[in-house]
A = this chain, B = another copy of it.
Amino acid sequence: MMSKPSIPKGTRDFSPEEVSKRNYIFETLRKEFQLFGFLPIETPSMEKLSTLTGKYGDEGDQLLFKILKRGAKFNHAVQSAQSQSDVSDHFFSEEALRYDLTVPFARYVVQHQNEIHFPFKRYQIQPVWRADRPQRGRYREFYQCDIDVIGTKSLNAEIELIQIIKNVFIKLQLPNHTIQINNRKILHALIDSCGEAENFEKIAVVIDKLDKVGRENVLNELNEKFNNPTCTELFTSIFNLSSDVRETISWLEEIIGDAKLGNEGIQEIKYITNACDQLDINNLKLNLTLARGLNYYTGSIFEVILNDYNMGSVVGGGRYDNLTSQFGLNDISGVGISFGAERIFDVLNESHLFPSDTTISPEYLIIDRSGNMINSMRMANKLREYSKRVMIYPNSDHKLKKQLKYANQNNIPFIVFVGEEFKEEMTFELKNMLTGDQNILKLSQFLSDLYE
């Protein structure tokens, strides 16, 4: 016997129930994005390697799924490989599956700059692929749900993103979340202030681990790596700051308020937090240790955590001033966030927060007992005219018990028995699978009741 077929490591099949639940998340996001004037775009699954490489760091480059050359190009690559000692995989590939939605979006904006009217607000809900080691909650094919406002430096874009986050999580019944905000300009000014400007990225990486390793370990690592007491002291103070935004801002003004970049960052944070106060958004938290991994952020950065779940951030993003420059278009600032649909799915699923009407099982199973399937098909079509989801059990010769069991197995709540009397009297029997109630009904009456 053949062994059971299987799928590539880190990928998943989605059952009808899972697809429906995932669509509930996507649909909730989509609706909210549209209310704020965002428009959908889609980009190809594959991009040219030249578009992707060098944008995600060395590690990211290694995680790209590359497409193998075909035909003559493949043969040529093999010949080259046979004549050389050091063979890179670039010989064998010119294209790769997209790694995220932000770089393809930047590419899209530059490529279509003459068709786009800025500011451009786009959303994009599509899969991305990363050849990461699969583990719980981490897949090689997964969806990202991104919104970006590009072509304006206005901080009102940031405020809208914050509003959207709050609205989305309220609609998903996850009101207990915290929107963490920081600003790369502040982070730069702070690290400048202790004379470590050239180590910005490295220090950012260390402090970004705070949640995982704790204060002690971060301070020890800073000490070991940079051996700069002012720097260690600075972050000790930061860790001991109260959670009060005003106090933190006063402290920042004292430390970096005179530096141009620092002052800009402080003004930005002030504008955003002040607006959020006025809009009754009270779950925004200034977190000076928030750094974000990606190097292209230049201003505001965001992360959202669910307070009742220990699973890292479910949204991340920030402002980038120079992303499109990499494709030749300068001076286009943008800001965006990405919702992590997979983590949100896990939370909603574990906590049974998916609405009960998410799945789209048929509402009626028709069992034909009239001896002529046409009667059942006519009955089904009547119900479908009223937008009911109807399935006809196709084999009327199967035992009744088997047909009823099928309804149970597929969570179909009502059975319609279409018998011989259907054709002349237009009556049928309706069985409620939950209560077991069974009644003979007149079609016309039943349909007019449905309409109400």
Is A111 at the interface (CB under 8 A from chain B)? yes
Chain B residues whose CB sits within 8 angstroms of the CB of A112 once the complex forms: 13, 15
Nearest-CB residue, chain B, relative to A368: B156
Please give, as numbers and ranges, the residues of chain B lying within 8 Å of A16 by CB-CB distance. 39-41, 122
Given A5-B107, A374-B279: A68 and B40 interface contact (C-beta under 8 Å):
no
Is A35's CB within 8 Å of the partner chain B? yes
Bound-state CA distance A6–B112 (Å) is: 10
Please determine whether A46 and B394 come into contact, CB atoms closer than 8 angstroms.
no
Q: Interface readout for A174-192 with B: 1 if CB under 8 Å, 0 if not? A: 0000000000000000000
- Complex Cα distance, B97 from A45, in Å, reads 10
Contact of A394 among B3, B51, B157 (CB under 8 A): B157
The reply to whether A394 and B149 form a contact with Cβ atoms under 8 Å apart is yes
Any chain B CB within 8 A of the CB of A400?
no
CA distance A93 to B78 in the complex (A): 14
Interfacial residues of chain A within 411-444, with CB under 8 A of chain B in the complex: none
* Interface bin, chain A: 35 or more
* Smallest Cβ-Cβ distance to A394: which chain B residue: B154
Interface contact B42-A19, CB-CB below 8 Å: yes
- Asked whether any CB of chain B lies closer than 8 Å to the CB of A65, the reply is yes
Residue from the list B8, B68, B409 in contact with A117, Cβ < 8 A? B409
Chain B residues within an 8 Å CB radius of A395: 119, 152, 154
Cβ B44 vs Cβ A141 within 8 A: yes
The answer to whether the Cβ of A138 comes within 8 Å of any Cβ in the partner chain is: no
State which of B37, B48, B390, B392 has its C-beta within 8 Å of the C-beta of A362. Answer: B37
Whole-angstrom CA separation of A203 from B37 in the bound complex: 56
Q: A117-B409, A374-B275 are in contact. Are A327 and B2 (CB under 8 A)?
A: yes
Which of B35, B111, B115 lies in contact with A5, CB distance below 8 A? B111
How near does chain B come to A350, taking the closest CB pair, in angstroms?
20
**B residues less than 8 Å from A47 (CB atoms):** 7-8
Q: Hey, which chain B residues are within 8 Å of A129, CB to CB?
A: 45
- Residue pair A152, B374 in contact (C-beta under 8 Å): no
Is B275's CB under 8 angstroms from A39's CB? no
Interface string of A79-97 (1 = CB under 8 A from B): 0011000010100111101
Cβ-defined contact, A46 with B374, below 8 A:
no
A117 B410 Cβ-Cβ under 8 A:
yes
Q: Which of A1-29 contact B (CB under 8 A)?
A: 1-8, 11-16, 19-20, 23
Whether B160 lies near A392 (C-beta < 8 A) is yes
Contact of A45 among B2, B45, B377, B410 (CB under 8 A): B45
A377 touches B275 (CB 8 A): yes
A296 within 8 A of partner (CB): no
- In the complex, which residues of chain B have a beta carbon less than 8 angstroms from the beta carbon of A7? 43-44, 46-48, 51, 107, 111
B279→A46 contact, CB < 8 A: no
Asked whether, in the complex, the Cβ of B392 is within 8 Å of the Cβ of A13, the reply is: no
Q: Are B152 and A389 in contact (CB under 8 A)?
A: no
Pairwise interchain contact B93-A68, C-beta atoms closer than 8 A: yes
Q: Which residue of B lies closest to A376 (CB)?
A: B156
Q: Chain B residue with minimal CB distance to A373? A: B156
A223 CB to nearest chain B CB (Å): 35
Quick check: is A361 within 8 A (CB to CB) of the other chain? yes
Contacts of A131 in B (CB 8 A): 70
Which residue of B48, B373, B387, B389 contacts A37 across the interface (Cβ within 8 Å)? B389
Residues of B within 8 A of A50 (CB): 5
Inter-chain contacts of A19 with B (CB < 8 A): 39-42
Smallest distance from the beta carbon of A83 to chain B beta carbons, Å?
Answer: 9
- CB of A331, distance to nearest CB on chain B (Å): 14
Q: Is the CB of A328 within 8 A of B4?
A: yes
**Which residues in B have their C-beta under 8 angstroms from that of A239?**
none
Q: Are B89 and A70 in contact (CB under 8 A)?
A: yes
A sample of 5 cross-chain residue pairs with beta-carbon separation below 8 angstroms, ordered by A number, consists of A5-B110, A13-B43, A13-B111, A16-B40, A279-B374
